A and B are shown apart, each in its own frame.
Chain A
Amino acid sequence: MWSHLTRLVGAAAMAAAMTLPVQAQDNAPIKIGVPLPLTGPLAGAGTQLQWGIEYAAKQANDAGGVLGRKLELIIEDTKGEPNTSATVAAKLGGQDKVDAVVGGFGSTSDFALLSAIQRYNTIFVHPGSSSVRLEENFGKNPWYFHVYIWDYHRQKAAVNFFKSVPDLKTVAIAYEDKLYGTDGSNFTQKFAKEAGLEVVMNEPFRAGTPDFSPILNRVKTLDPDVLFVIGYSGDNLQVARQALQLGIKPKLIVTQGAGEKRSDYGDAGDNVVVLDLWSSKQKTPGLAEWVEKANIARGGEVVSTAVQGYTAMKTLIDAATAVGKWDRDAIIAKLSEMTFDTPYGPVKYGPSDLGGLHQLITEKTMIAVQYQPNNEFNVVWPADKAAAELVYPAR
């Protein structure tokens, strides 16, 4: 009898031991790889994205985790360098064996990141980078989900905004002469032509140039209905400042938001319009409460880039929760079909112009913010998100 009992206990112990790993796996954290440029020139945006991703994960973990499992973020610094990005991808996919990746910022380094990580077929939710080369090369993969706009979305939004201004017929473009600005200029010209707008100037400049007076003097002569600047944040600031100092007052200066803040402009920013993805002042249901909580958690003002990171993470969490278990294929299907409640409003992944399967933010999400005196600003376009009327002409 004892031997029978011993065998029974032994068998029970073995069975228990065999089920332990399964239970442990069931309760094991969900590992999310977060590759971002945290040092180097792209670190500013990288750290903002990191905050947004961590904030969404913390909210989920504080509420008991996702599917009863904690989210474990494995954060890696890509430095914005292709070589480092490829190494990081191999570590996340091969060594850490992450369940999904939420990260990436900087088109060149992300090309290397995605090239290296695609062999693992991991779900990849991409909050940053806008080069259409990424869309063309990776956008058709079922596991790839892109949150941020592609290059042409900005230009579509810009032209849509121009069309919304009565009497705006002529556009002068000043663009930085590398890939970012040149693509932006080409797309703007294309969409402007389709919209019946006349491009009266299309002048390149070198990013970081100390003197924009050649461009501003041409604008003074041509007197276009709008001066559209496609540059980096420092260039945008310098154009507005020099226009003020030289006494050159275009009817309207429009820039593409590149991370600069209202306070950076000072008086030179009065009436400048910035095309952006998101503003804490846009009219979106439930946004005010979200901003209030997020600002407290952030210990300061939450900026657009942080919202990109938050949204990327939140869409993954919401899709996994909706599926009810961590099933890669089912989560991909859910990500593809669900509508997500985000700080941008309700959005869903859908096809994009150059073959991408899953694109979240488009020109329809974008807004125009006009800076006002005394460091104020307001959303002025589109009408359903606007909190104030556009001041035009602005001189």
Chain B
Amino acid sequence: MLKILKYSFYDLSRSRWSYVYFFFYLLLGVVLLFLNNDLSNAVITLMNVIIILVPLIGTIFGVMYFYNSREFTELLLAQPVRRSSIFLGQYLGVAISLSASLILGLGLPFIIYGLFQSGAIWDFASLLISGVFLTFIFTAIAFNIALSNENKIKGFGLAILVWLFLAVVYDGLFLLSLVYFQDYPLDKFSLVASMLNPIDLSRILILLKLDISALLGYTGAVFKQFFGTGLGAFTSVFVLILWVVFPVWRIKRIASKKDF
């Protein structure tokens, strides 16, 4: 698998898109620091961008890479290589290179600005960790979709729809249900509902880390009570790991049954 990972990585390192992605984050980091003139504020602004954009890029990049490397995949399938290593190697190649672009692109300007001397380092670290989790989750989802759909257009469409649902529609439905059932106690419901969506979960984790949960009102207090504890933090990281493990397991399963 390491050899496949090496070649996927090598392939991606020569792709224009990896650099576009890297320079985009570099630019974003520099501009935000310049405009905010403050590390903590820049982290908050960044969060809003990352939460939406990282899943989108992971999804599109994952689907695109899978369809584009079909020839490479077919070549490898006839070689003495385990099937699961081919697909997991390619998946890890995409996910790691996207994560590297994110970490380096954002990390460099923040380090130059003096991240290590400031108290915002842990906030920034939690931002990057959530970003890496989201990259791994959405790349895996993208691979799942691409593996199950021969038709590229259908695959792309589906991938965008999944992103749209988790990033935008889910929150809308969540909010609507809160308004509709406002006469009932909703703290348990909202806890569970936000656990089920990796984007929401990451957002809450960062917000709580930034200690601005007061902005969230009563629900914020409930969230703080749960997520702020060791058990809450453990549970949410566990759920994020599940969000990675389940799609990856499914990649392995579909790949072992697929005809090429």
A and B are partners in one complex rather than unrelated chains = no
Interface residues of chain A, those whose CB is within 8 Å of chain B, are none
